[in-house]
């Protein structure tokens, strides 16, 4: 792959921000991008992220409380579950920063009192990423227990690939400084979302991926299509209008030419 094709989603967003253009909502909601502005009104942090060449998400110890055969479910809470509500959402990527569909995520964590359910399956559940590589977990902020900072355990596995076992952490926890297992690379992006919190984290699995080959459009341009790779200067048509590609990239849903001024200009 040549350098022109190495543009990342993060770079696309950065280019759009630097150019002062509005970032389409669909782009902000897409893979590997900050989810929202902070409450202070500052620009969103461009993390979590995935750039080609990024190291895969680091593994961590499983610990003593994993149990196989967790229920398949995206919510670990019921109406009466005590604790601060927390959603954890994000994407699973491979080494080329392409989303991994149908990746398994198996979460387990302590309850509000810092206790694991070793008899049943409270606060245990697995789910699969959707076609866009996205996942979403509804749970609570786990309680603290002796010797550890606040964390959520997870196993992540692309179909037919080895399992990544790791843990996710919360920023600004006093015990992050004293927990020898803590790894800042596994910090989630957490924000208040009254009455609870929202956290975001994107996994990068050590899974080889082959980006789509560069499309060679016929003379006169071709019709824009998600999943196709476009080189700078290529002409396409979309919704009856012509556009010129400004940056080489692989098209994603939500990056349609009228919505992605950093990628396309009207011809
Ligand atoms: Fe734990």
Question: Average pLDDT, stretch 91-116?
Answer: 96
Separation of 51 CA from ligand 1 center, angstroms?
29
Q: Where in the chain is the domain with CATH 2.10.10.20?
A: 3-9+212-266
- The whole-angstrom separation of Cα 225 and Cα 88 is 31
Sheet (strand 124-128) strand order: 124-128, 104-108, 151-157, 164-169
Question: For residue range 1-34, what is the model confidence (pLDDT) as tens digits?
Answer: 444 434 444 344 334 333 433 433 333 333 333 3
Nearest to 255 by CA among 229, 233, 234, 218: 229
Separation of 246 CA from ligand 1 center, angstroms?
47
Question: For residue range 202-255, what is the model confidence (pLDDT) as tens digits?
Answer: 999 999 998 765 544 445 568 999 888 888 888 899 988 898 888 888 898 889
Near ion ligand 1, which residues have CB within 5 Å? Answer: 63
Separation of 166 CA from ligand 1 center, angstroms?
10
Question: Does the pLDDT of residue 180 top 70, yes or no?
Answer: yes
pTM recorded for the entire structure = 0.66
Separation of 139 CA from ligand 1 center, angstroms?
15
Q: How much is the pLDDT for 202?
A: 96
Tokens of 8: 């990342």
Separation of 153 CA from ligand 1 center, angstroms?
6
CATH number of 47-204: 2.60.130.10
Separation of 70 CA from ligand 1 center, angstroms?
16
The confidence band for 74, taking pLDDT boundaries of 50, 70 and 90, is: very high
Contact in structure between 100 and 207 (CB atoms under 8 Å): yes
Separation of 155 CA from ligand 1 center, angstroms?
13
Question: For residue range 45-69, what is the model confidence (pLDDT) as tens digits?
Answer: 434 467 777 789 999 999 999 999 9
Separation of 73 CA from ligand 1 center, angstroms?
20
Q: Where in the chain is the domain with CATH 2.60.130.10?
A: 47-204
Contact in structure between 16 and 27 (CB atoms under 8 Å): yes
Please give the CATH topology (third level) of the domain spanning 3-9+212-266: Seminal Fluid Protein  PDC-109 (Domain B) (2.10.10)
Separation of 265 CA from ligand 1 center, angstroms?
50
Beta strands 249-250 and 229-230, pairing class: antiparallel
Question: Average pLDDT, stretch 60-83?
Answer: 97
The confidence band for 144, taking pLDDT boundaries of 50, 70 and 90, is: very high
Higher pLDDT: 106 or 223? It is 106
Separation of 150 CA from ligand 1 center, angstroms?
8
Q: How far is CA 243 from the centre of its chain?
A: 29
């Amino acid at each position: 792959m040549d350098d022109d094709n190495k543009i990342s989603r993060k770079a696309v967003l950065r280019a759009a921000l630097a150019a002062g253009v509005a970032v389409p909502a669909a782009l902000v909601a897409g893979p590997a991008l900050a989810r929202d502005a902070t409450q202070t009104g500052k620009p969103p942090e461009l993390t979590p992220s995935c750039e080609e060449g990024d190291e895969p998400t680091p593994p961590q110890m499983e610990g003593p409380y994993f149990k196989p055969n967790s229920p398949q479910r995206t919510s670990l809470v019921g109406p009466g579950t005590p604790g601060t509500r927390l959603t954890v959402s994000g994407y699973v990527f491979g080494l080329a920063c392409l989303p991994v569909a149908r990746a398994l995520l198996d979460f387990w964590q302590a309850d509000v009192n810092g206790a694991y359910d070793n008899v049943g399956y409270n606060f245990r559940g697995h789910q699969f990423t959707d076609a866009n590589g996205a996942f979403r977990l509804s749970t609570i902020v786990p309680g603290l227990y002796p010797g550890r900072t606040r964390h959520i355990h997870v196993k992540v596995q692309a179909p037919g690939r080895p399992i990544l076992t790791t843990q996710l952490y919360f920023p600004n926890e006093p015990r992050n400084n004293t927990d020898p297992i803590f790894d800042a690379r596994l910090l989630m992006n957490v924000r208040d979302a009254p009455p609870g919190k929202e956290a975001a984290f994107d996994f990068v699995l050590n899974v080889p991926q082959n980006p789509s080959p560069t499309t060679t459009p016929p003379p006169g341009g071709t019709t824009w299509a998600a999943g196709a790779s476009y080189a700078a200067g290529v002409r396409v048509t979309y919704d009856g209008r012509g556009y010129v590609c400004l940056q080489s990239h692989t098209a994603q849903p939500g990056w349609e030419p009228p919505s992605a001024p950093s990628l396309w200009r009207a011809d």
